[in-house]
Structure 1
Amino acid sequence: MQNYKKILLAAAVTMAFSATAMAETLKMGIEAAYPPFNNKDASGNVVGFDKDIGDALCTKMKVEKCEVYVSDWDGIIPALNAKKFDFLVSSLSITDERKQAVDFTDPYYSNKLQFIAPKATTDFKTDKAYLKGKVIGSQRATLAGTWLDDRNVEDDYGVDIKLYDTQENAYLDLTSGRVDAILADKYVQYEWLKSDAGKAYEFKGEPVVESDKIGIAVRKGDPLRERLNKALAEIKADGTYKKINDKYFPFSIE
């Protein structure tokens, strides 16, 4: 009888653990102002490549509910560390500086940094002599913004750098003539150049950064990182990742 009670107790603990696991809710942090990777549709719902990847990872991890939390870009890492959400999937470049604050998963896509400027600017160059005195826009706290700052300080490019809270505000100043060019992620620019507002603009020169690895961030030491890595490998292996990629791009960004 005693052994039978032990078996029943073990079964009850297992069932309780399973029920807890099935009832797990994870909170996904996203900027929601960086199309096509993350933005809001006409109904105010968060959509985009990042959101689809996050949802696919939650499905693989058998998470019952995956909630989306929107955060301003400038405060998105502090919000993660303040436990406002559990993981951050918002096109975040993996950098040594950010690694001091958060842990990253394996990269879930690769990016490049490239300038865009008016098509009419046929003499545009990315060298120091040309950029000196030009007004170049970029989003604040991004790899592109850091690249501009580094060149301006280390190499004395003499660039007038304007940093913006969102990529969309940078585009507004470009179309109004307040900046000469923008440096940003190539695949975000690719999407904007297809829009009505972007028709008069084009990529200029070669990418200034060829391999910008993008990762999902979690709090330091959080075991969720390994679960996300496992799920990421699975969605790449079973074709889910490719379906999401093909929904947004006619080429692979992996």
Structure 2
Amino acid sequence: MSPASAFAAPVRRAVRPFGRGVAALATVTAVVFAAGCAPQPEPGAAKSPGAPSGSCEQGKLATETKGKLTVGTDKPAYAPWFKDDKPSSGQGYESAVAYAVAAKLGFKKEDVVWQTVAFNNAFAPGEKKFDLDLNQISISDQRKKAVDFSSGYYDVRQTVVALKNSKAARAKSVADLKDVKLGAQVGTTSLDVINEVIRPTEKPAVYQKNDFAKAALKNGQVDGIVVDLPTAFYITGAEVPEAAVIGQFADTLGKAEQFGAVLDKGSALTPCVTGAVDALRKDGTLAKLEKQWLADAVDAPVLK
């Protein structure tokens, strides 16, 4: 779904419900990003070899539709990344980031077109019909074989959410989770954490969407599910109040994890989008949007 700074930063808690019953990922300070991430180059500075000069300037971008920026995400579009399942509203962290990136590239809000793209399809091999996709997709070497990624726009921690009366709720370490029934969405780093970090004795339940995982948790079909931190706090605060955040993992498979915008493999837009994301991090916009939409610092224990 990278700087290791996310894992030295304070733990973050999801924003209060948006008026409907997710993270990830509600308040962190701009210091988190300032201390955790080195300054990045200005937009257009990180261009691929051979990219024509000025190719990131307004009106010179080779987008799917001339004069428009097509952004993909899944449906439903979960909170707190999107509000009320409406990506075009500009509300929710990823929706706001999409419009901030678009503005850096010279697009007005009305020039951004949203397209429904299933989570797994976003980073599957093959030509894309979107310019970029934002859907809590972690940057990984395996996925980079099929698609391009921008630099990271969010630093991620994976967590375990469990029913308060389940044996998973008593876990204090990774070892304590080995004998519990866990679940996660297919194709996610959350599932990778179960299989490669926890390594439970019982095969995990795998779900096509997080909605199904949450339903299984609520119905007691699994003891716990693994999701990113903001999603975890939103689930427990607004959707499954009988569950709690049991703990978080210090890292994912031994390295820092970040969400990045997905682009077509070899896309001419990749250096432009990366430059925009880097500029948003440097000027404090990402920190401001995270503070607005994602998390209050809370003390969630680290599972070791």
Q: Which residue of 2 aligns with 1:61?
A: 105
Q: Which is further off, 204-213 or 68-77?
A: 204-213
Q: 2:117 aligns with which of 59, 68, 71?
A: 71
Aligned-residue offset at 1:110: 0.5
Structure with the higher strand share, 1 or 2: 1
- Please state whether the residue corresponding to 2:151 is helix, strand or coil: coil
Greater Rg, structure 1 or structure 2? Answer: 1
1:31-70 paired onto structure 2 within 5 Å: 31-33=74-76, 34-38=78-82, 40-41=84-85, 47-64=91-108, 65-70=111-116
Letter of the 1:90 counterpart = N
Is the 1:32–1:46 Cα contact (8 Å) retained in structure 2?
Answer: no
Q: Tell me if the contact between 1:32 and 1:39 (Cα under 8 Å) persists in the aligned partners.
A: no
**1:66-105 alignment, distance < 5 Å:** 66-78=112-124, 81-105=126-150
Task: Please tell me whether residue 123 in structure 1 is matched to residue 170 in structure 2.
Answer: yes
Aligned-residue offset at 1:150 = 3.1
**1:167: which partner in 2?**
210
Amino-acid identity (%)? 21
Per-residue deviation at 1:224?
A: 0.7
Identify the range of structure 1 (34-43 vs 240-249) with the bigger mean alpha-carbon deviation: 34-43
CA displacement 1:75-108 (0-9 Å, x = unmatched) = 2223x84322111111110111101111111111
The alignment partner of 2:257 has SS state of strand
* 1:93 aligned counterpart, secondary structure: coil
CA contact (8 A) 2:71 2:114 kept: yes
Higher relative contact order by CA 8 Å / sep ≥ 6: 1 or 2? 2
Letter in 2 for 1:158: T
Q: Normalised by the size of structure 1, how large is the TM-score?
A: 0.79
- State the Cα RMSD in Å: 2.9
Cα distance change, pair 126–25 in 1 and its aligned pair in 2 (3 A): same
Judging changes above 3 Å, is the alpha-carbon distance between structure 1 residues 245 and 129 closer, same or farther for their aligned structure 2 residues?
A: closer
Quick check: 1:113 aligned with 2:158? yes
* Distance (whole Å) between structure 1 residues aligned to residue 248 and residue 59 of structure 2: 53
Q: TM-score, normalised by structure 2?
A: 0.67
Give ranges in structure 2 of 5+ residues lacking alignment.
1-56, 298-304
Give the structure with the higher percent helix: 1
Counterpart AA for 1:166: K
8 Å CA contact 1:57, 1:232 repeated in 2: yes
Deviation at 1:62, TM superposition (A): 0.4
How big is the shift at 1:159? 2.2
Q: Evaluate the alpha carbon distance shift between residue 150 and residue 130 of structure 1 in structure 2; reply closer, same or farther with a 3 A threshold.
A: closer
Mean alpha-carbon deviation: is it higher for 134-143 or for 30-39? 30-39
Q: Quick check: 1:174–1:180 contact (8 Å CA) kept in 2?
A: yes
Tell me how far apart the structure 1 counterparts of residues 157 and 245 of structure 2 sit (CA, whole Å): 12
* 5+ long unaligned stretches in structure 1: 1-16
Quote the Cα distance in structure 1 between the aligned partners of 2:87 and 2:251. 36
**2:186 aligned with 1:144:** no
